[in-house]
Amino acid sequence: MSDRTQESIVIVAPADQVMAVIADFDRYSEWVSAAKEVTVLQRGADGTPRRVRFVVAEGFLKDTYELVYNWAEGGRAVEWDLAESTLQRSQHGEYELRPSADGTSTTVTYSLEVTLHIPMLGMLRRKAEKTITDTALKELKRQVEGLVERRAEGRDGE
């Protein structure tokens, strides 16, 4: 998909810990600011979420949508596509994880392409996608690194 937004961030944690947070949809409403409700509707035979419903509200934008996930073997990537939505016509996204040589940090790249039912100039759509990807990566980093810190201090209780 040529017209997509892509952002990256380095998270100080091993890739498996980063992917565990990405896959834990039951906790999204605790750390994803726009997520008001997240429900796993279907899981694969291996237990990974396959179809997930989101209820989001950010500013004046509100949407209820379902995404279908495809988890890469090896736990280094996940892709998703829109199944249904009240606001979006299409959505394709991906997280790709690249562990550092020593395994202590992970570069996370988030790609996103969204088309809404309402017309929107390409420039405005890309700006909205950039805001979404930027916010998502910063929130993911804060959540993962916070969990790592709490575990190191013996307060993991998570």
Q: What is the pLDDT of residues 88-126, one digit of tens each?
A: 999 999 999 999 999 999 999 999 998 887 665 565 656
pLDDT band at 2 (very low <50, low <70, confident <90, very high): very low
In the prediction, which pLDDT does 4 show? Answer: 79
Q: For 16-20, 51-55, 59-63, 83-87, which range has the lowest pLDDT when averaged over its residues?
A: 59-63
In the prediction, which pLDDT does 3 show? Answer: 64
Above 50 in pLDDT, residue 133? yes
CA-atom Rg of the chain in angstroms: 16
Ordered by where they begin, the domains of the chain are 5-152 (3.30.530.20)
Report pTM.
0.87
Question: How many Å apart are CA 69 and CA 79, to the nearest integer?
Answer: 6
pLDDT band at 62 (very low <50, low <70, confident <90, very high): confident
In the prediction, which pLDDT does 1 show? Answer: 36
Please give the order of strands across the beta sheet that includes 61-71.
5-11, 106-116, 88-99, 77-85, 61-71, 49-58, 35-43
Question: How many Å apart are CA 131 and CA 26, to the nearest integer?
Answer: 23
In the prediction, which pLDDT does 154 show? Answer: 78
The one-letter amino acid code at 115 reads T
Averaged pLDDT for residues 48-77 = 92
> Quick check: 22 and 95 in contact, CB under 8 A?
yes
